[in-house]
């Protein structure tokens, strides 16, 4: 083995311009091959004609694209229950403020009979907020405006 390495070293030393040229050609060839292979990355798990592709098509037709950005807005009281009349008024005002916020598509009604968003102890509930813009596209200031729309009506209350 050492004699083979010795011969390679001697050849490389005697023909250094040729060896360096071959290495440069290989590097340029690899750069072109990697560019031709592409850098496009896809995290899609869809396979043409598969059941998952059909399910994704149904979801795209049936639901808003922002649905994956739906976020909970949580209301909590230390004393009493969120369903008490005074607390319900404050929460309703917060929800109304949220519904009127600029980047909000809709807000669920946590007090609806079919809703099960109230905790077992009755002190916490949540509403689902669906933004009209993908959450990743909102600036920090726009997100804070949405939060302020919920927070301002509840200031000074037990909620």
Q: What is the pLDDT along the chain (159 residues), one digit of tens a residue?
A: 788 999 999 999 999 999 999 999 999 999 988 888 776 666 566 677 778 778 777 777 766 655 566 788 888 888 889 888 888 888 889 989 888 888 888 888 888 777 778 888 888 988 888 888 777 788 888 888 888 888 888 787 777
Indicate left, alpha or beta for 122 from its phi (over 0: left) and psi (-120 to 50: alpha): left
Cα dist from 139 to 42, 65, 74, 125, 146, whole Å: 26, 19, 21, 27, 11
State the pLDDT at residue 43.
59
- Contact of 82 with 154, CB cutoff 8 Å: no
State the pLDDT at residue 65.
58
State the pLDDT at residue 64.
60
State the pLDDT at residue 41.
62
């Amino acid at each position: 083995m050492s004699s083979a390495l010795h011969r390679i070293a001697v050849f490389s030393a005697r023909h250094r311009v040729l060896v360096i040229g071959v290495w440069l050609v290989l590097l340029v060839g690899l750069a072109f091959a990697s560019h031709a292979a592409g850098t496009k990355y896809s995290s899609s798990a869809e396979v043409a004609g598969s059941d998952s592709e059909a399910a994704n098509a149904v979801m795209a037709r049936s639901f808003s694209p922002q649905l994956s950005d739906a976020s909970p807005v949580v209301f909590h009281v230390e004393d009493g229950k969120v369903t008490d009349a005074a607390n319900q008024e404050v929460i309703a005002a917060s929800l109304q403020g949220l519904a009127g916020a600029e980047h909000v598509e809709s807000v669920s009604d946590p007090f609806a009979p079919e809703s099960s968003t109230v905790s077992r102890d009755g002190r916490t509930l949540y509403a689902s907020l669906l933004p009209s813009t993908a959450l990743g596209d909102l600036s920090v200031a726009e997100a804070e405006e949405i939060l302020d729309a919920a927070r301002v009506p509840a200031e000074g209350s037990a909620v």
